[in-house]
C-alpha cells in the first residue's frame, strides 16, 4: 500500500539504466545525460516533508523521506551524476552508463530511505554496480583490485545487515534514527559496516587500491558516491559519537601522508579522499549543529572539487595513456585548459579563499575549536598544509611543468572540458557566495568564513607551504617505489595462506574424491562377484567374459548374501 504519490529519485535512475540498452546506440549517451538531468530536477523540486511509504507484509517501508539533510545530499548526488554524464558523453560502452546510473540511483536510494531495510538494499546495490566501473578497465590490475573491492563491500554489507537485524530484534523498529553512543552490539556492528564504506583506517585500502585502476570516467563517479553516502549515514545515525572525532582527525593526516608518497596521480587523489572524508567524520564526532552543518557542507564541496580533480587526472590519462608522475611532465602548453580547470579544484581542496573548500572545511575546524578539541583542530590544520603541498603543488608541477618528456597528448573530446567547466563554475560560485550553500544546510547556524583571523591564518598556511615546496621541490621529486599501506599485512602472507586454506583444501578434497571413487569401484566389483576379491590368482581378479562360470558365481553370491542376512538377524535377536 502506497500512501503518498511521490516519485523516488532512485527509481528514475534505475528505470533509465533498464531502458538504456534498448535505445539506439547514437542516442544512448544523450539519454544518459537527460536521465541524470531529469533526476536532478526531480530532487530539486521535492519539498521537505514529502514521503513515500509501502506496506510489505507486516512491515512499513519508508521508500522516501525528505528533510533538509537528505535534500542537500540528494541534490549534490544528482548534480554530480549529471556533470559526470557530460564528462563521459564520448564513452560508447553502454555497460558503464548503466552501471553509473544504478550506482547513482543506489546513492539516492540510501539518502532518501526512511527505514533501515530500504537503506540496506540500496547500500548493496551501490556495491555491486560500482565494481563494474573498475572491471570495465579490462586489465589484470583492475580485475584484481575490483575483486578486493567487492570483498570489502560484501563484508561491510554483511556486518551492517547483522547490526540491523540485531537492532530490529532489540527495538522492534526499522526507522533510520539517531543511535546513542555506547549502545548495544547492534549499534557497533552498524557503525563498523558504515565505517568500511567511509574508508576509515584501517578499513580504507579498498579505496586507494581500486580507484586508480578504474576507468577514466568511472573514477569520477566512484569519487562522489560511496564515501559520501557513508558520511550521510553517519550524520543521520551516529552524530556525537566521540570515537568518530578521534578516527576522523587521524584520517585527515593519514591520507595526506600517503598522498605525498604516492606516484600515481589518481592514487594521490584517492588518498586525499580519505583525508577529506576525515574532516567530515570528525565533524560528525563533534556532534554540534555547527559541526554537523560543516560535515554536510564539506561533503557537498568535496563531491564537486574531488570529481573535478579526477576529471583533470582523467584528461591526462586519456591524452597520454600515462598516470605516473615519474612518466609525466611538460604538458602545460598542450593541455592548458585542462590545467586551468584542474587548478580550480586544487585551490578548492587546499582551502583557498573564494573557492568552495574554504567555506566548508573552515566550518568544521571552527566547530572543533568551539567544542574545545584543540588537538583535533591542530591535526586538521596540519592536514591542510599537506593537502596544498601534494594536490595543489606537487601533482600539477610534476604533471604539467617539470621535466618535459616530449609527450604528444591526443586531443580531448570537448564534452570532457565541458563537464569540468560546469563543476568548476560551482566550485567558484559557492566560494564567492557561501550563502547559496549555507541555506541548504540542515541547521540554522550563523558562520562567517571570511573573518579576518581566519583569512590571515589561511593565507599564512598557503604562503609558507608554497615557499617550502619551492625551496625543496627537488627533494620532493616523485619516485617509482610503492609506498606500503596497511594492506601489506594481509597481502604479504596471502601466498602462504592460499597454500594452506585454498590449495591445501583443494588437494585434500581431490584425495578424498579419489579414495571415495576407489571405494565405490571396489564395492561395485564386490557386488558383481563377491568371491572375486579373494581369488588366489591375480589373473582371476579381473572380470572374465567366460560364459561357463556365471551360474556358479550366481549360486555362490546368493549363498553369501543369505549367510550375511542370517548373521544380521542373529545380532538383532540377541540385542
In the predicted model, is pLDDT for residue 550 greater than 60?
no
Distances (CA, A) of 451 to 305, 353, 448: 23, 11, 6
How far apart CA 104 and CA 131 sit, in angstroms, is: 13
∠ CA(432), CA(221), CA(311), 5° rounding?
A: 60
548 falls in which pLDDT band (50, 70, 90)?
very low
Q: Does 227 share its domain with 359?
A: no
Residue-wise pLDDT tens digits, 298-355: 999 999 999 999 999 999 999 999 999 999 988 988 999 999 999 999 999 999 999 9
Cell 533526476, residue? Answer: 39
Closest CA to 247 of 371, 402, 148, 379: 379
The residue out of 445, 464, 481 marking a domain boundary is 481
461 falls in which pLDDT band (50, 70, 90)?
very high
Q: What is the mean pLDDT of residues 357-368?
A: 95
In the predicted model, is pLDDT for residue 555 greater than 70?
no
How far apart CA 112 and CA 75 sit, in angstroms, is: 11
The fraction of the chain above a pLDDT of 90, given in percent, is 72
In the predicted model, is pLDDT for residue 541 greater than 80?
no
How far apart CA 33 and CA 245 sit, in angstroms, is: 38
The residues with which 52 forms a beta bridge, in sequence order, are: 64
Phi, psi of 264 (to 5 degrees): -75, 130
How far apart CA 54 and CA 525 sit, in angstroms, is: 64
Q: Does 353 share its domain with 464?
A: yes
419 falls within a domain: yes
Q: Does 170 share its domain with 316?
A: no
As for how many domains the chain has, the answer is 3
Q: Does 267 share its domain with 225?
A: no
In the predicted model, is pLDDT for residue 201 greater than 50?
yes
Q: Is the dihedral of CA 340, 424, 293, 275 positive or negative?
A: negative
Check residue 380 and give its pLDDT: 95
213 falls within a domain: yes
Q: Does 227 share its domain with 271?
A: no
Distances (CA, A) of 78 to 55, 83, 226, 287: 27, 9, 14, 27
The residues with which 60 forms a beta bridge, in sequence order, are: 55
Q: What is the mean pLDDT of residues 259-287?
A: 95
Check residue 567 and give its pLDDT: 60
Check residue 475 and give its pLDDT: 84
2 falls in which pLDDT band (50, 70, 90)?
very low
Round the CA-based radius of gyration of the chain to a whole number and report it.
31
The residue out of 205, 237, 269 marking a domain boundary is 237
Closest CA to 528 of 500, 480, 561, 565: 561
Q: Does 129 share its domain with 198?
A: yes
Residue-wise pLDDT tens digits, 410-437: 999 999 999 999 999 999 999 999 999 9
Q: Does 431 share its domain with 416?
A: yes
Q: Does 209 share its domain with 308?
A: no
The answer to whether 82 and 16 are in contact (CB under 8 A) is no
Residue-wise pLDDT tens digits, 370-387: 999 999 999 999 999 999
Check residue 312 and give its pLDDT: 97
Q: Does 175 share its domain with 206?
A: yes
Check residue 518 and give its pLDDT: 77
Q: Does 184 share its domain with 315?
A: no
Which cell is 479 given? 619516485
Q: What is the mean pLDDT of residues 226-233?
A: 97
In the predicted model, is pLDDT for residue 572 greater than 90?
no
User: SS3 for 231-279, per residue?
Assistant: HHHHHHHCCCCHHHHHHHHHHHHHHHHHHHHCCEHHHHHHHHHHHHHHH
Cell 582523467, residue? Answer: 314
Distances (CA, A) of 432 to 356, 362, 455: 8, 15, 14
Quick one: the chain helix, strand, coil %, rounded to 5? Answer: 75, 5, 25
Residue-wise pLDDT tens digits, 56-106: 777 788 999 999 999 999 999 999 999 999 999 999 999 999 999 999 999
- The domain in which residue 571 lies consists of 529-535+549-575
Q: Does 267 share its domain with 346?
A: yes
Q: What is the mean pLDDT of residues 161-181?
A: 92
The answer to whether 121 and 59 are in contact (CB under 8 A) is no
Residues in the chain: 575
197 falls within a domain: yes
Residue-wise pLDDT tens digits, 481-502: 666 777 767 667 767 766 776 6
Exposed, middle or buried, 428 (CB in 10 Å: 0-12/13-18/19+)?
A: middle
490 falls within a domain: no
Q: What is the mean pLDDT of the chain?
A: 88
The answer to whether 274 and 204 are in contact (CB under 8 A) is yes
Check residue 388 and give its pLDDT: 94
Check residue 347 and give its pLDDT: 97
In the predicted model, is pLDDT for residue 568 greater than 90?
no
In the predicted model, is pLDDT for residue 128 greater than 60?
yes
Q: What is the mean pLDDT of residues 269-287?
A: 96
Q: Does 91 share its domain with 199?
A: yes
How far apart CA 520 and CA 514 sit, in angstroms, is: 10
514 falls within a domain: no
User: SS3 for 428-447, per residue?
Assistant: HHHHHCCHHHHCCCCCCCCC
Check residue 233 and give its pLDDT: 97
499 falls within a domain: no
551 falls in which pLDDT band (50, 70, 90)?
low
Exposed, middle or buried, 483 (CB in 10 Å: 0-12/13-18/19+)?
A: middle
Q: What is the mean pLDDT of residues 510-515?
A: 78
506 falls in which pLDDT band (50, 70, 90)?
confident
The residue out of 211, 237, 263 marking a domain boundary is 237
393 falls within a domain: yes
Exposed, middle or buried, 475 (CB in 10 Å: 0-12/13-18/19+)?
A: exposed
In the predicted model, is pLDDT for residue 109 greater than 90?
yes
∠ CA(298), CA(164), CA(224), 5° rounding?
A: 25
Termini Cα distance of the chain: 64
512 falls in which pLDDT band (50, 70, 90)?
confident
520 falls within a domain: no
Amino acid at each position: 500500500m502506497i500512501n503518498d504519490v511521490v516519485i523516488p529519485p532512485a527509481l528514475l535512475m534505475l528505470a533509465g539504466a533498464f531502458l538504456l540498452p534498448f535505445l539506439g546506440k547514437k542516442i544512448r549517451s544523450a539519454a544518459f545525460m537527460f536521465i541524470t538531468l531529469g533526476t536532478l530536477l526531480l530532487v530539486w523540486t521535492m519539498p521537505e516533508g514529502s514521503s513515500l511509504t509501502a506496506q510489505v507484509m507486516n512491515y512499513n517501508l519508508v521508500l522516501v523521506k525528505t528533510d533538509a539533510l537528505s535534500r542537500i545530499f540528494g541534490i549534490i548526488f544528482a548534480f554530480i551524476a549529471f556533470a559526470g554524464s557530460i564528462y563521459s558523453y564520448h564513452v560508447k560502452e553502454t555497460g558503464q552508463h548503466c552501471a553509473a546510473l544504478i550506482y547513482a540511483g543506489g546513492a539516492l536510494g540510501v539518502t532518501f530511505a526512511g527505514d533501515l531495510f530500504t537503506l540496506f538494499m540500496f547500500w548493496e546495490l551501490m556495491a555491486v554496480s560500482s565494481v563494474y566501473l573498475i572491471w570495465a578497465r579490462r586489465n589484470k590490475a583492475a580485475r584484481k583490485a575490483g575483486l578486493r573491492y567487492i570483498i570489502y563491500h560484501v563484508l561491510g554489507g554483511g556486518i551492517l545487515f547483522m547490526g540491523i537485524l540485531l537492532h530490529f530484534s532489540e527495538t522492534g523498529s526499522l526507522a533510520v534514527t539517531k543511535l546513542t553512543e555506547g549502545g548495544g552490539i547492534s549499534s557497533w556492528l552498524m557503525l563498523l559496516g558504515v565505517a568500511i564504506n567511509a574508508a576509515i583506517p584501517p578499513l580504507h585500502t579498498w579505496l586507494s587500491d581500486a580507484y586508480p585502476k578504474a576507468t577514466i570516467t568511472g573514477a569520477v563517479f566512484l569519487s562522489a558516491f560511496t564515501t559520501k553516502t557513508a558520511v550521510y549515514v553517519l550524520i543521520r545515525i551516529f552524530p556525537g559519537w566521540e570515537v568518530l572525532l578521534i578516527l576522523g582527525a587521524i584520517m585527515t593526516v593519514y591520507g595526506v601522508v600517503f598522498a605525498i608518497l604516492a606516484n600515481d596521480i589518481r592514487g594521490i587523489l584517492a588518498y586525499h579522499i580519505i583525508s577529506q572524508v576525515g574532516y567530515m567524520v570528525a565533524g560528525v564526532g563533534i556532534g554540534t549543529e555547527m559541526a554537523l552543518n560543516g560535515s554536510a557542507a564539506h561533503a557537498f564541496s568535496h563531491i564537486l572539487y574531488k570529481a573535478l580533480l579526477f576529471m583533470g587526472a582523467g584528461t591526462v590519462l586519456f591524452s597520454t595513456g600515462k598516470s605516473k608522475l615519474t612518466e609525466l611532465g611538460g604538458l602545460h602548453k598542450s593541455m592548458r585548459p585542462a590545467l586551468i580547470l584542474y587548478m580550480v579544484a586544487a585551490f578548492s581542496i587546499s582551502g583557498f579563499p573564494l573557492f568552495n573548500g574554504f567555506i566548508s572545511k573552515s566550518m568544521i575546524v571552527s566547530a572543533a575549536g568551539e567544542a574545545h578539541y584543540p588537538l583535533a583542530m591542530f591535526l586538521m590544520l596540519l592536514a591542510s598544509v599537506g593537502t596544498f603541498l601534494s594536490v595543489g603543488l606537487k601533482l600539477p608541477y610534476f604533471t604539467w611543468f617539470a621535466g618535459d618528456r616530449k609527450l604528444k597528448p591526443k586531443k580531448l573530446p570537448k564534452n570532457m572540458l565541458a563537464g569540468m567547466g560546469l563543476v568548476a563554475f560551482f566550485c567558484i560560485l559557492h566560494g564567492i557566495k557561501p550563502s547559496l550553500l549555507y541555506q541548504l544546510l540542515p541547521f540554522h547556524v550563523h558562520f562567517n568564513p571570511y573573518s579576518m583571523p581566519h583569512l590571515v591564518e589561511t593565507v599564512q598556511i598557503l604562503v609558507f607551504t608554497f615557499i617550502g615546496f619551492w625551496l625543496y621541490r627537488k627533494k620532493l621529486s616523485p619516485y617509482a617505489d610503492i609506498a606500503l599501506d596497511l594492506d601489506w599485512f594481509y597481502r604479504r602472507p596471502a601466498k602462504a595462506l592460499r597454500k594452506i586454506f585454498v590449495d591445501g583444501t583443494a588437494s585434500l578434497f581431490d584425495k578424498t574424491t579419489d579414495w571415495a571413487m576407489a571405494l565405490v569401484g571396489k564395492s561395485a566389483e564386490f557386488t558383481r562377484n563377491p568371491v572375486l576379491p579373494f581369488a588366489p590368482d591375480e589373473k582371476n581378479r579381473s572380470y572374465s567374459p567366460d560364459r561357463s562360470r556365471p551360474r556358479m558365481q550366481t549360486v555362490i553370491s546368493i549363498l553369501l548374501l543369505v549367510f550375511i542376512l542370517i548373521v544380521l538377524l542373529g545380532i538383532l535377536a540377541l540385542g
